[in-house]
Structures are given as structure tokens and as C-alpha cells.
Amino acid sequence: MFSKQTYQNRRKKLINNITEGVILLMGNTESPINFPDNPFPFRQDSSFLYYFGIQQPKLAAIIDVDQEETIIFGDELSIDEIVWMGIQETIKAKANKSGVEKTQAFSQLADYIQKAKSTGRKIHILPPYQAENKITLSKLLEVKISDLKPSVELIKAIVAQREIKEEQEIIQIENTVETSNKMHLLAMQIAKPGMKEYELVSAIKKLAADEESTLAYPPIITIDGQILHNHYYGNTLKSGDLVLNDSGAENKMKYAGDLTRTFPVDKKFTPQQKEIYQIVHTAFEQTKSLLKPGLAFKEVHKKAALIIAQGLIDLGLVKGTAEEAVKNNAHTLFFQTGLGHMMGLDVHDMEDLGEQYVGYTQEDPKDTQTFGWKSLRLGKPLKEGFVVTIEPGIYFIPQLIDMWKAENRLKDFINYDKVEQYRDFGGIRIEDDLLITKEGNRLLGNGLISSVEEIEDFRAKHLS
């Protein structure tokens, strides 16, 4: 946990940004795998962590904006539970560490909410994502689950606070990015023909565990980099393949890292792989260098699209000018994803609060219709203290190529004959995590090799 003052100050600031009423923050519960007593590992809700730092299931907290009073609701262990689970620090003791003096049994939360409702006070809630919390909130507030209304005022206040990382948070994020760097170096070191993808997964999980970390999200470690959400690890690495490794650690304080590297199973990229890789790498380096306060992230995304389009024009896959191709979204046949997103306590930071609030502004809302652009999680102007990812990529998705080709879509911009030569190419993505500083930006962590030369040198050294 951070210091008591940290949590007190964060709550104080939150109270100052809410006009009136009562804030109800739900902690997470354990989710069952196949029966109630066999749950997945517990992960606390990130906003709950941000304001209280307590990693324990079945808690809720009330922050009374008008009285400036905070109460944590939760049930202390019974003697039966202590016998089964050992002596644990009490909720009271944990609450005190985050500067909360008052704790009550969970069942008393219902009374509290009843009273608040009966006196006509506004009760601010966040959008629940755990089904268990949807049920609890529905009971507490006596409204149907479909009628639960998150407080936009609360969401905006929390986003405004969590999006600007504190110095001590940046230290935590750098710590977990450093673990992530090591995970990536290890994968690049041990990968070889004949190995299974899941062997790389095991190796990086072990490394994370050795640093008292877990993974922040199910890793994508695949020779099918073109499958964007790929959690299958059963393929065998073969000579000629590329390995796309998108993985990041989550440290003890629950901060996330999120890095991607793509490297050849052989010592060297093939000439074709190298050409595509260079385009992605140029987009990666150039867009990173642009990041600074005031610049809208969607402009950075557009810059990546332009670089990718130009690179593909040079190779003959795209026709016309880069500017025109991007204006017509021709780049989205190859670059279907967003360039990046916020990162912090969540790998997609605060995504549960709503992308519109986290990544966009009321004046310039998210484009939720256009293919490619609708996958951009962050569009709004950057501010000092944001932590973001930069992750351009080029992906050859056979199903998408077939679909576009059948429609002859954007035929003035796409050279489908040439594209067919890359049909089985796969996909390449390169990703780093960066802090927006006063003057520009700073790479988080000590840096991880990414250029063709660096990766080929490293592979040559380790692949016997």
C-alpha cells in the first residue's frame, strides 16, 4: 500500500470534485471457475484500489461527500474462517492504513443506503462489470439491473484523477514495465524451432512470479500475429515464422505493463518480413517521438496510419498518396487496431468506466462506426502525467482481405494482386509504454530492443 496520506488525499480530491451526495464504491468479489468454492485468483477493482488500497474480496465503501465521512463495509473473519484461512489482518486494521477509521459489517450497507435514499440524497455509483456486483447494487438500490445508472459526474471525477499519474505511481509502473521487459527478452532468448507457444507462456509466467508479479492480461504469444485476440498457445514454432509476443506484468501494487515485440523464429527476418517490420518500426519510433501535452492522440494514430500507408505504397500494396489512402481508410485493411490506450492500474486503464470518458471528450467523441477508428481507445489531447501505450501494427487477415476483395473495396487504393502475395504473412506489432512529461514524453523502463538489427543480433547470439 501507499501511505495513509496518499489515500486520504485522493479521497479528499474526489470529494472536492463531486457536488453532493454519497459515493458508493464496490470492491470485487471472487468469481467461481466451476463451483463456488473453486474461484479464480482474486483481483480487486482498480478504483477501489486507488482510493483504499485494500486487496480483499467482498468490501464496499461509502464516501459521504457532504459530511466528508468514509466507511468501509465488510465482514471480519469468523473463528471458523480463521481456522481455515489462518490469522489475517482485520479489515479495521487495513482500513486504518488507508486512513479510514470507520468500518461496519457488510449487511449494514443496506441500512446506510436506505437512509441515504429516504433523505433524498444522490448515490453515485460506477458502471458495474462483475455480475455479482450488478446483483448487489440492484438489491441495495432497489432498481432493476438494467436500470442501474452510473454517475457521469463520478466517472468524470475519477477519470480526471486517475489519468494523471502520481510520482509514486510512475515508479510502480516503471517497476512493472521493467519486469515486462525481462519477460520479452527471455522469450526472444529461448524461442527456437520446434518449441510450442505455450513453452514461451510458461517461461514468462515463471519470470513474472519470480518477481512477485502476475500477468496483467492473458498474453498473446503466437505465430499467428494476424489473429488480434489470440489466446491459443498450441502451435509449434517453425523456421520462417514470426513470433508476436504481447504480454505484460502486473506487480504487487497491481500496476500493469503492456509490451509487444515481434521477432523471427530464425536468427534473421526474411526479406519480406524485414520490409514490413521496418514500416511498423518507423511508425513506432516516429509516433513515440511526437507524444507531448496538448497533442490529440487521434492525430498520433493518424500519423501512424500515414506512415504505414506510405510504407505499403513503397512496397506496392497500396496505391495513390498516403494522405488520400488514409482519408479513405485504406490503411485499415492492414492496421485495424488503435495505436494505443491509457495504462495504469488496468492495462486498458479505467476501461470499465467507459472509453468515451477515458479516451475522448464531449466535444470530440469517439467514432464508433468506422472500421479501424472504432478500435481506437484513446483520441483526446494528451496531458502531462498520462501513461499511454504506442502499438502500431500491420496484419494480413485472410478473411478481411477476402471480404474487401470480393467487394472490390477501395480498389483505387489497394493492389489486391500484390496483397495476395502477403496473404499468409501473419502480423507484426511493436509496443512500448510512455509517460507524457511537461516537455514531451519519456519511455518507461530501461528500454527494450526493437530495431531489426538489435533483434537479429540478439537472436543470433542466443539461437545456436
What H or E segment, with its residue span, contains residue 363?
none
φ, ψ (nearest 5 deg) of residue 171: -60, -45
What one-character DSSP code corresponds to residue 75? Answer: P
Task: Give the interface size with its own copies as a residue count (CB under 8 A).
Answer: 61
Side-by-side strand order, sheet with 242-247: 220-222, 242-247, 259-264
Side-by-side strand order, sheet with 22-26: 102-104, 69-73, 60-64, 22-26, 123-124
Q: Whose Cβ is closer to its own copies: residue 172's or residue 310's?
A: 172
Q: Whose Cβ is closer to its own copies: residue 288's or residue 366's?
A: 366
What SS3 class is residue 432? strand
Contact 163, 383 (CB under 8 A): yes
Distance in Å, CB of 198 to its own copies, minimum:
5
User: In the numeric block, which cell numbers belong to residue 45?
Assistant: 477493482
User: In the numeric block, which cell numbers belong to residue 449?
Assistant: 530492443
Distance in Å, CB of 457 to its own copies, minimum:
28
Query: Does 217 interact with its own copies (rule: CB under 8 A)?
Result: yes
Query: Does 135 interact with its own copies (rule: CB under 8 A)?
Result: yes
Distance in Å, CB of 214 to its own copies, minimum:
10
DSSP secondary structure letters along 39-51: BPPP---HHHHHH
Query: Does 118 interact with its own copies (rule: CB under 8 A)?
Result: no
Distance in Å, CB of 145 to its own copies, minimum:
6
Query: Does 275 interact with its own copies (rule: CB under 8 A)?
Result: no
d(CA 233, CA 219): 10
Query: Does 464 interact with its own copies (rule: CB under 8 A)?
Result: no
Query: Does 403 interact with its own copies (rule: CB under 8 A)?
Result: yes
Distance in Å, CB of 125 to its own copies, minimum:
16
d(CA 86, CA 72): 22
Among 220, 211, 279, 285, residue whose Cα is nearest residue 249: 211
Contact 434, 385 (CB under 8 A): no
Distance in Å, CB of 275 to its own copies, minimum:
23
Distance in Å, CB of 85 to its own copies, minimum:
5
d(CA 63, CA 157): 14
Q: Whose Cβ is closer to its own copies: residue 214's or residue 437's?
A: 214
Distance in Å, CB of 246 to its own copies, minimum:
13
d(CA 357, CA 341): 13
User: In the numeric block, which cell numbers belong to residue 391?
Assistant: 502499438
Among 276, 336, 267, 314, residue whose Cα is nearest residue 415: 314
CA atoms within a 13 Å half-sphere pointing along the CA-CB vector of 183? 38
User: In the numeric block, which cell numbers belong to residue 26?
Assistant: 464496490
Query: Does 143 interact with its own copies (rule: CB under 8 A)?
Result: no
Of residues 224-253, those binding its own copies (CB under 8 A): 224, 226-231, 234
x-or-dash string of contact with its own copies, 71-100, rule CB under 8 A: --------x--xxxxxx-------------
The single residue among 46, 172, 176, 310 that binds its own copies, judged by CB under 8 A, is 46
Distance in Å, CB of 138 to its own copies, minimum:
9
Contact 44, 27 (CB under 8 A): yes
Query: Does 438 interact with its own copies (rule: CB under 8 A)?
Result: no
Please count the helices (runs of H) and the strands (runs of E) in the chain. 16, 15
Of residues 308-337, those binding its own copies (CB under 8 A): 336
Per CB under 8 A, which region of 12-20, 59-67, 197-205, 271-279 contacts its own copies? 197-205
φ, ψ (nearest 5 deg) of residue 325: -60, -45
Distance in Å, CB of 86 to its own copies, minimum:
4
Q: Whose Cβ is closer to its own copies: residue 71's or residue 387's?
A: 387
Contact 180, 248 (CB under 8 A): yes
Query: Does 399 interact with its own copies (rule: CB under 8 A)?
Result: yes
The single residue among 305, 345, 390, 414 that binds its own copies, judged by CB under 8 A, is 345
Query: Does 210 interact with its own copies (rule: CB under 8 A)?
Result: yes
Distance in Å, CB of 456 to its own copies, minimum:
28
x-or-dash string of contact with its own copies, 8-37, rule CB under 8 A: --------------------x--xxxxxxx
Query: Does 38 interact with its own copies (rule: CB under 8 A)?
Result: yes
Query: Does 424 interact with its own copies (rule: CB under 8 A)?
Result: no
Strands 123-124 and 22-26: parallel
Query: Does 285 interact with its own copies (rule: CB under 8 A)?
Result: no
**Gap between the terminal Cα atoms of the chain:** 45
The residues binding its own copies (CB under 8 A) are: 28, 31-41, 43, 45-46, 79, 82-87, 129-132, 134-135, 145, 196, 198-199, 201-203, 205-206, 209-210, 212, 217-218, 224, 226-231, 234, 336, 345-348, 351-352, 397, 399-400, 403
